[in-house]
Structure 1
Amino acid sequence: MKNTDRSVHATREINAPVEAVWKALTDAQELERWFPLKASVNNGRIDLSWGGGVDWQMEIEEQQQNKYLRLGYNQDHHRMVSDVPRRLAVEFFLEAKDGKTLLRIVHAGFGGESGWDEIYDGVRRGWDTESLSLQHYLEHHAGKDRVVALAQINIKLPLQQVWNTLTKEGVSVKGDRYVYATPLGEVYEGQLVYLNPPQDLCGTLESLNNAMFRLTAERFMPDAGITIWVWIGAYGVPEAEVKALEQRWEQKLNELF
């Protein structure tokens, strides 16, 4: 059994002024344009929700405008994996560099015990993709509202079997480009953002006005089933079109699993 605490680290250089990055981290409307489905910021708190009981309720413990933000939350968030009281924290360090911003994220407080492994790994992979989602929003769609298609299903199958089913028609990568033949019978292609089989495929979706596409197979705690997420965050696309895509993915996931 491991006894040391663990922390997640992610660093991104974003081609946007530090004031824009700060606002994206601290303003509810801006947060919803790249991170959760719903956000609220008031009374020293930042509350984020992705639906389905996936929520973060965090207190602003310290902030220095355009430089540093620390958000803390209590052990109840992860009581499902440990009886040991813990308070976790997310820190954001911002540094202005020639009109760009160097953003460093540190998410700390995860237990070293094996029961924390899935949550730790999920947060680690999550910040890899979410920090890139922030970068994509600010560099390509700054100031535009986002419409999200989110389809998901919970199943009990081996992870590799799930991935093989989702990618049966093929995923190919050439340089920084990807092509994904989806179970919908459509081909998604664009810039590859993150590839981590058998759990993650993330890239831009050029055919949908340079949207952000994510396919994730996640286990939230030991011996739990697999949650499959298909997430498309689109900008400047009619909501009806995005929600129709969400319905098609939901139907397909139910057919496949």
Structure 2
Amino acid sequence: MSDPVVVEVAIDAPAARVWQAFRDPVELRRWHGWEYDAIEAEIQQIYFDDVTASEPDLTLDTHGAGRFELEPRGEATVVRVVRAAPDGAAGWDGIYDEINEGWRSFVEQLRFYLERHAGEERRTLFIEREVDPPAGEEWFSAAHQRGVVADPSTLVIVAREKTIVSAYGIDEEAFAALRERFG
């Protein structure tokens, strides 16, 4: 029996470009997680240490935290994260899991990066509480989190007990304004 899919997101970018975003540490920093002192070590551990990457198959197996599967669909790519269900469970239905929720946030950040800000540097805020989602374009909605494009440069993801704000191409003044707004 194959592992269940916990996240599936279609990204308007070719598979080669999505693959590059998973394999280049500079690219990973532009979409994975948020800014903090150990982000480079986290990226190294998740995407490179004890990882099996197969470019021909477009798979990246983290051996525990999940397996990424990329499926080309013309000029778009479907990104799937699959993970073994907990012991005794047939799947993930009805089970809240922080790792699954993290993958959802990260893959949606990847989609925002590739579809709207490819090649741009990012600044982030990580807020250890839920903020009221700003007005704007709904980017995604899931059972335990929601993403809103607050303005062309900024994606706000509100999840259980946390908020991630990713902003591209902004200067220090604009970043200070984001910190004031959401901090």
TM-score bracket, shorter-length normalisation: 0.7 to 0.9
Structure 2 partner of 1:13: 10
Instruction: Call closer, same or farther: CA 1:57–1:7 in 2, change over 3 Å.
Output: farther
Distance apart, 1:138 and its partner CA: 0.5
The answer to whether the 8 A contact 2:65-2:99 is kept is no
State how many pairs are aligned: 175
Deviation beyond 3 Å, 4+ runs, structure 1: 109-113, 194-197, 247-250
Give unmatched runs, 5+ long, in structure 2. Answer: 90-94
Greater share of strand residues, 1 or 2? 1
Determine the structure 1 residue equivalent to 2:77. Answer: 101
Structure 1's 40 and 26: CA in aligned 2 closer, same or farther, altered over 3 A?
Answer: farther
1:100 offset after TM fit, Å? 1.6
- Using the size of structure 1 for normalisation, the TM-score is 0.56
Distance (Å, rounded) in 2 between the aligned partners of 1:32 and 1:137? 11
Instruction: Please tell me whether the aligned partners of residues 11 and 76 of structure 2 are also in contact (alpha carbons under 8 angstroms).
Output: yes
Task: Choose between structure 1 and 2 for higher RCO, CA contacts under 8 A separated by at least 6 residues.
Answer: 2
- Counterparts in 2 of 1:130 and 1:36: CA distance versus 1, 3 Å: closer
What's the Cα RMSD here? Answer: 3.3
Q: 1:58 Cα deviation (Å)? A: 4.5
| TM norm structure 2 | 0.76
1:131 aligns with 2:107: yes
Q: How does 1:114-193 map to 2 (within 5 A)?
A: 121-152=97-128, 167=132, 180=133, 188-193=134-139
After superposition, the Cα gap between the structure-2 partners of 1:205 and 1:249, relative to the gap in structure 1 and judged at 3 Å, is: closer
Unmatched runs of 5 consecutive residues or more in structure 1: 1-5, 49-55, 73-87, 114-118, 154-162, 168-179, 181-187, 218-227, 251-257
Question: Secondary structure in 2 aligned to 1:35?
Answer: coil
Structure 1 counterpart SS, 2:62: strand
Q: 2:5, 2:80 within 8 Å by CA — same for their partners in 1?
A: no
1:194-205 to 2 correspondences below 5 Å: 194-195=140-141, 199-205=144-150
Checking the alignment, whether the CA contact within 8 Å between 2:33 and 2:106 is kept in structure 1 is: no
Larger Rg: 1
Letter of the 2:136 counterpart: G
